[in-house]
Amino acid sequence: MTELKNDRLIRALLREPVDRTPLWMMRQAGRYLPEYRATRAEAGSFMALCSNPELACEVTMQPLRRYAMDAAILFSDILTIPDAMGLGLYFSEGEGPRFERTIDSAADVARLDPNRARDELGYVMDAVSLIRKTLDGSVPLIGFSGSPWTLATYMVEGGSSKDFAKTKAMAFNEPQQMHQLLEKLAQAVAVYLSEQVAQGAQVLQIFDTWGGALGHAAYQEFSLRYMTRIIEQLPREADGRRVPVIVFTKGGGQWLEAIAGCGADAVGLDWTTDIGAARERVGDKVALQGNMDPAMLHASPERIRSEVATILERFGPGTGHIFNLGHGVTPGINPEHVGAMVDAVVELGPQYHAQ
C-alpha cells in the first residue's frame, strides 16, 4: 500500500505527538457544496449516488479539493445495512429515509439474515477500494457504520422518529426480541466494518446517532453493550499500523466514562459537553473528537474563528484532540464558513503541540 503522507489524524487518535490538531468534519461531503449537488443530480437519486462507486468516490474527494482536511470519510449512508437485509430503503423529499417494510414482530426479526449485509454491499466495498486508491496516501480514509441501536430505531419505526415510541416499546415490553435484533445487527456491523478495513479503510467510526434518546440503564443495555461487542470483533491492525476506532453517541456526554471503557480509541462529543471537562473526566484513556455546534457555521467567519479558538483552548496542550463538529454539517451552510473553520484550526492548532 502507498505510504500515508499525512498521518496526523491517526497519530492523534492514538494520542501520539502531532504538529497541530487534526480535523475532519462529519458529513464533510454533502449538500452544502454546490459540486456535491451537481453530482447528486447527475446520479438521479441519493441511493443511486451511494451505490455508484465512481460517483461515491467523486463526492468523497470534493471537500478535500477545497479544504485542508486531515481525512476523507467514505461517502455512504448508515442505513445500507438494513436496506441490504431486505427492508427497502428509499428517500422521500422533505421526510428523509423511509423503509418499505418494518420490524414489528419476533417473526420479522427471525427472518433477518445478517449475512446479506456482507453479500449485498459490494458496491460499498468497491467505493472504499476506489477511494483509497484515489487518495494515493494523501490522508487516511475513514470507514463507518451506524450503531445497532440506531439502525434498529429506523428498522422498527420505518424512518426517523421524534420519540422512538415503537422502538422503546419493543425494548421495554419485548426485551428478548430487541436483543435478538441488536445481536443480528451487531454481527452484520462487525463484518461490514471488518470488510471496509480489508478494502482500505484506515480509521473506523460507529455513529450512535440515537443512543442519547435512551435512559441511563437502557443505554448501557441496548446501545453500549452492542458497540462494545462490535469493537471486540474488529481487526485492529492493517498495513502494519493500528486501525483506530471512534465511537460517537449524540447526547452521550453523561456516559462519557462508560463509553471510554468500550474499547474504542476515541470518543466523539456533541456540542453539549464541554471538551475541557471531558478531558478531565477521561484523562489519557481515550482521544476526544469534537465538538463545535454545527449551527456555529451560520455565524460570521470572525465568530467561527473565536469559537475554534475557545474549543482548542478548552482542550488545552497536548495530543489526543481531533477537531470536528458536534454533529454533521447541515445543508444551507456557506462553504466559505467551513473554510473559515478549517483555516482557524490550521492556524491556531500548532500552538498546542509544541515539540
All domains in the chain, ordered by first residue: 29-266+273-286 (3.20.20.210)
Looking at 77, 208, 265, 270, which residue is catalytic?
77
Does residue 95 carry a pLDDT above 70?
A: no
Q: What is the pLDDT of residue 93?
A: 67
118: which 3 cell numbers? 456482507
For residues 184 and 99, what is the distance between their CA atoms, to the nearest angstrom? 18
Classify residue 281 by burial, with Cβ atoms within 10 Å: 0-12, 13-18, 19+. Answer: middle
* Residues written for the chain: 355
- Give the dihedral sign, CA 64/28/200/17: positive
Q: What is the pLDDT of residue 160?
A: 87
Classify residue 340 as left (phi > 0), alpha (psi -120 to 50) or beta.
alpha
Predicted pLDDT of residue 3: 87
ω into 291 cis (within 30 of 0): yes
Q: Which long-range contacts (CB under 8 A, 24 or more apart) does 259-264 make?
A: 259/224, 260/285, 260/286, 261/285, 262/224, 262/227, 262/228, 262/231, 263/228, 263/231, 263/232, 264/206, 264/227, 264/231
CA distance linking residue 54 with residue 57, whole number of Å: 5
Q: Which pLDDT score is estimated for 355?
A: 62
Residue 233 assigned ligand-binding role: no
Residue 118 has a pLDDT of 82
Interstrand relation of 89-92 and 96-99 (parallel, antiparallel or unpaired): antiparallel
Task: Say if residue 91's pLDDT is above 90.
Answer: no
Q: Which of 32, 36, 154, 226 is catalytic?
A: 154
Q: Which pLDDT band holds residue 214 (cuts at 50, 70, 90)?
A: very high
pLDDT in tens, 292-324: 999 999 999 999 999 999 999 999 999 999 999
209 is in an annotated binding site: yes
Confidence band of 349 (pLDDT split at 50, 70, 90): very high
Instruction: Assess whether 77 carries a catalytic annotation.
Output: yes
Residues 8-35: tens digit of each pLDDT: 999 999 999 999 999 999 999 999 999 9
Cβ 150 vs Cβ 210: under 8 Å: yes
- Catalytic residue list contains 27: yes
- 218 marked as binding residue: no
Predicted pLDDT at 1: 58
pLDDT at 94: 64
User: Is residue 163 annotated as part of the catalytic site, yes or no?
Assistant: no
Q: Is 28 annotated as a binding residue?
A: yes
pLDDT at res. 303:
98
Question: How many Cβ atoms from other residues are within 10 Å of residue 143's Cβ?
Answer: 27
Q: What is the pLDDT of residue 282?
A: 97
Q: What is the mean pLDDT of residues 38-42?
A: 96
Using a 10 angstrom Cβ sphere, with 0-12 exposed, 13-18 middle and 19 or more buried, the burial of residue 31 is middle
Catalytic hit among 31, 101, 225, 303:
31
Q: Is 31 a catalytic residue?
A: yes
User: Residue 96 — pLDDT band, cuts 50, 70, 90?
Assistant: confident
Q: What is the pLDDT of residues 232-269, one digit of tens each?
A: 999 989 989 999 999 999 999 999 999 999 999 999 99
Query: From residue 49, how far is each of 46, 226, 301 by CA, in Å?
Result: 5, 30, 32
Could you tell me the CA-to-CA distances from 7 to 22, 63, 199, 240, 274 in Å, in that order? Answer: 9, 18, 18, 13, 27
Bridge partner residues of 241 (DSSP): 238
pLDDT tens digits for 173-209?
Answer: 999 999 999 999 999 999 999 999 999 999 999 999 9
The mean per-residue pLDDT over the stretch 36-49 comes to 94
Average pLDDT, the chain: 96
In this predicted structure, the answer to whether residue 145 has a pLDDT above a threshold of 70 is yes
Give the max Cα distance, the chain. Answer: 59
Indicate if 126 belongs to the active site.
no
What DSSP designation does 298 have?
G
Q: What is the pLDDT of residue 329?
A: 97
Residue 30 annotated as binding site:
yes
